[in-house]
Structure 1
Amino acid sequence: MAKRALLVLVHGSPRPAANEAMYRVVNEVKRRDIFPIVEVGFLECNSPSIPEAIALCVQQGATEIVGVPYFLHTGTHVAEDLPSLFEEAQKRYPQVHFRLGPYLGRSSQLTEVLAKRAVEAGNFE
């Protein structure tokens, strides 16, 4: 039986407070018990790095790792860096199945959030 892990792939920031909102979202996902293992891996500036977070998943017995990029756009990190990191991980852990999901910005729900925020910002009453 596969033991699935969710790995949230985040850019990271040198400002510690910048990651607080992301951690709130990740903690809510953890509470939903969709994945027995949930980790965050940072591309830059913070720990654990994505390779370190992958190792943490494997140490906890993950046989499948689903990476979800916590990114809004398909820039170089989403298009090249993250797939490369997953390819390297696949070579390092051939017994683990890796899947890279779509980045958050591909969700149509973000259109609704943007529209809502625009309306909120326009309310000057």
Structure 2
Amino acid sequence: MTSPVLLVIAHGSRDPRHAATVHALTARVRSLRPGLRVETGFLDFNAPSVPRVLERLAAEGADEVVALPLLLTRAFHAKADIPSVLREARSRLPRLRIRQAGVLGPSPLLNAALEQRVREAGVAPGDKGSTGLVLASAGSTDPEAIAVIAEIARELRHTGWCAVRPAFASAVTAEGPSRTADAVRALRADGVRRVAVAP
């Protein structure tokens, strides 16, 4: 029996930086865990696709795959797209055991990484109550995903930021956060002099 293969599943993008970043991440995981086989598959736009990777692994004799969604919240991709792709693969590849791991967030580690990146950009909380932060999420109509971003904003407010606003780049609902530019304008209207945008 072989050890499980870790399959990192990313959404994919027309922007080549996305795939490059995902491949750099999986290369880093391989370097940290040399005994672990790590593969990458994409849902859309990039190759290899998740079904192609699973077919290759099955043909090579892999016994088990742990599919890790490279997602920050349990939105549509984690709840519907990935389970559907994995369900279809299980029916076509019955000898390959496929398990889906949870998404990466929310996580205090990710919040700390976000704050570190903002500091590296030259912005820190606590600048006499004049620095705000916009959490610019890609977007979702999923209420659970919207709630996660709102909760992260609440948690970050307790770390010294004078104001933190969630915002979505797309898929804005009537109840959900505003678009990124709207959130920046709202902070400025509230008197916040310095605004950081954290994608």
TM range (shorter): 0.7 to 0.9
Deviation of the 1:77 alpha carbon: 0.7
In 1, the alpha carbon distance for the partners of 2:80 and 2:56 equals 23
In 1, the alpha carbon distance for the partners of 2:108 and 2:8 equals 19
Aligned: 1:57 with 2:57? yes
Mapping 1:1-125, distance limit 5 Å:
1-31=1-31, 32-35=33-36, 37-121=37-121, 122=123
Identity %: 34
Asked if the contact 1:39/1:57 (under 8 Å) is kept, the reply is no
The equivalent of 2:135 in structure 1 is none
Q: CA RMSD in A?
A: 1.8
Deviation of the 1:120 alpha carbon: 3.1
- Unaligned segments of structure 1, at least 5 residues: none
Which has the higher relative contact order, 1 or 2, with Cα contacts under 8 A spaced 6 or more apart? Answer: 1
Higher helix share: 1
Quick one: which amino acid aligns to residue 101 of structure 1? A
Question: Aligned pair count?
Answer: 123
Quick one: which amino acid aligns to residue 110 of structure 2? L
Deviation of the 1:91 alpha carbon: 1.1
Asked if the contact 2:55/2:93 (under 8 Å) is kept, the reply is no
Which has the larger Rg?
2
TM-score, normalization by structure 2: 0.57
- Unaligned segments of structure 2, at least 5 residues: 125-199
TM-score, normalization by structure 1: 0.87
In 2, the alpha carbon distance for the partners of 1:107 and 1:2 equals 30
